[in-house]
Structure formats: C-alpha cells, structure tokens
Amino acid sequence: MNQVFDVYTHSTKGQWGFSAVGAEVWTAEIKPEKALKLERVEAIKLGALLTKRVRMGYVRMTRAKYLHQTLSDDGEVFGEFNEVHPDVCAASGESLVLMVPKPFGDTALELITVWETTLQAVSGVSEQASQWLKRQERAQQYLTAFDNHPALALVLADWALRNRQIVLSQKGVVPQRAPQEDPMAWKQFLSNWFTEERVQNALEQLQWSLRDAMLRPVVAPVTNDNADQANSWIAEAGMAAF
C-alpha cells in the first residue's frame, strides 16, 4: 500500500497501525506470526479503536511506516511494517538499480506486454523476467529494476528515457540518453552492479549494442515546405512592421 501508517507495538500481541487520508481510514493488525488483518473503517470510529489499543498496552513507534503485504501459496496474507516503500524494497541480497514513477491507467499494462515480448530475445532470463513483470504489474507507485539481470534495467531505462520519464538511481550518474541510443554509456553505468561482459551480452541480444546503433538508419526530420514558406512570410512581415 502507498499509505503511511502510524504504528503501535506490543511485546506479545504484535503490531497495530492506522492510515488516515481524508475520510478514508485503514487499520492493519499484524500478529506475532505475521498474519495480517486489514480493514477499512469509518473515520469517526478511529478514536475509539486507538484508545482501545493504548489501554491494551500498545506503544506508539517513533516513525511512521509502510505496510508490506505478501500472499502465501496457501492463500494466507502476511504483513510487515517497514520504513521502505514496498515498491522499492529489495529481496534478500538484492540491490536496487533503477526506479521510475509508474504511469497511470492502461499504459502500465501495455508496457508489460511490450516488455514481455522484448525480453524474449534475451536467453536465460525467462524466469527472472516473469517475476519482474509481475512485480511491475503489482507496483503502485514505482517501476523498479534490481541487480538480478542487466536486461531488466536496460528495458526499463530505455522506455523511461525515450518517453522523458524521471530515472532515479542510488549509485552513479544515470546516462541522459536511452540504452538504444548510447549503449556504451549504459554499459559503463551498469558496471556498478554487473560485469561489463554481462551487460554487453544483454545489449547484443536486445540488438542495442554499439554496432546496432551505428547500423540503425537515421530518420531525417520531415520538413513542410508550405510551413517553411508561411514562417518566412510571417518573419518578413514582422520585420517590415518595425
């Protein structure tokens, strides 16, 4: 969830928190075994619910937290309060490479379909790609790429930069041009997480290598003679007026 929760903790009963945004209030109870109970309540009832928890011995934590939710194979929902946004929270041993604000509406779903097709050209990434695509589909605010395969970061970055989206990274300076346009810059940048050989291999399989960039035809800008003549006429008229 994107909402930030005020969290109260108990030494034996687990944690309880609430998130109030306008008239919408959510409460979340996490048992010691991590089982989650999430409820939407009327704002007028929040005071009584909070008083009850305090009387039970719950103590307010200093910092607000996000609610992370996971679903077990048996269909059980587990939860955890965490200071890191769930979209950018890394699995054990992973490091975040890139994050991009998620577009609204159907655009995100269309992207996932396009990326699925694009990544089919990369060998040995099908399982990781499947998990990554599911994560992007579930994401609420940020699209992300971690250090499990360079092709995932390349695909995300290429779409983002070619569509003038903000690309953020915790390490290094993100290249200003898309991987298809400047593969060497991305090879160097991603070497913060992957070997250059591995990045080069991903670029070649995506057909985004330096050789591909050099062979790619340059599309000349379309000119409109009528528009040029009109602009010239307007400029001359403007000069004559002064």
* Same domain flag for 54 and 129: no
Does any domain span residue 240? no
Nearest to 28 by CA among 73, 75, 67, 85: 67
Does any domain span residue 119? yes
* Same domain flag for 105 and 198: yes
Can you read off the two tokens belonging to residue 228? 């040029």
* Same domain flag for 126 and 60: no
Does any domain span residue 242? no
* Same domain flag for 201 and 137: yes
Does any domain span residue 233? no
* Same domain flag for 101 and 203: yes
pLDDT of residue 3: 84
- What's the predicted TM-score (pTM) here? 0.73
* Same domain flag for 117 and 77: no
Domain count, the chain: 2
Does any domain span residue 235? no
pLDDT of residue 211: 80
Does any domain span residue 224? no
Report the Cα–Cα distance between both ends of the chain, in Å, rounded: 61
Q: Dihedral through CA 17, CA 20, CA 25, CA 26, nearest 10?
A: -30
Does any domain span residue 135? yes
Give the max Cα distance, the chain. 86
* Same domain flag for 37 and 140: no
Does any domain span residue 234? no
Sites in the chain below the pLDDT cut of 50 = 219-224, 226-242
Give the C-alpha distances (Å, rounded to integers) separating 18 from 14, 42, 135.
14, 12, 25
144 CB burial (10 A radius; 0-12, 13-18, 19+): buried
Angle separating helix axes 196-205 and 150-162, nearest 10 degrees = 60
pLDDT of residue 47: 94
Can you read off the two tokens belonging to residue 116? 């699925």
Per-residue pLDDT reduced to its tens digit, 88-105: 887 767 899 999 999 887
Domain end marker among 44, 59, 82 = 82
* Same domain flag for 63 and 110: no
Tell me how many helices (H) and strands (E) the chain has: 8, 9
Domain end marker among 27, 50, 82 = 82
* Same domain flag for 104 and 199: yes
Close Cβ partners of 202 (under 8 Å, ≥ 6 residues apart): 122, 149, 150, 151, 154
Per-residue pLDDT reduced to its tens digit, 165-202: 999 998 999 999 999 999 999 999 999 999 999 999 99
Strands (DSSP E) found in 34-101: 36-42, 59-60, 65-71, 77-82, 96-101
Which domain covers residue 197, as residue numbers?
96-215
CATH of the domain at 20: 2.20.140
Kindly report the number of other CB atoms within 10 A of residue 155's CB atom.
Answer: 25
* Same domain flag for 120 and 202: yes
pLDDT of residue 145: 95
* Same domain flag for 66 and 140: no
pLDDT of residue 140: 87
Q: Which helix (H) or strand (E) holds 8?
A: strand 4-10
* Same domain flag for 76 and 104: no
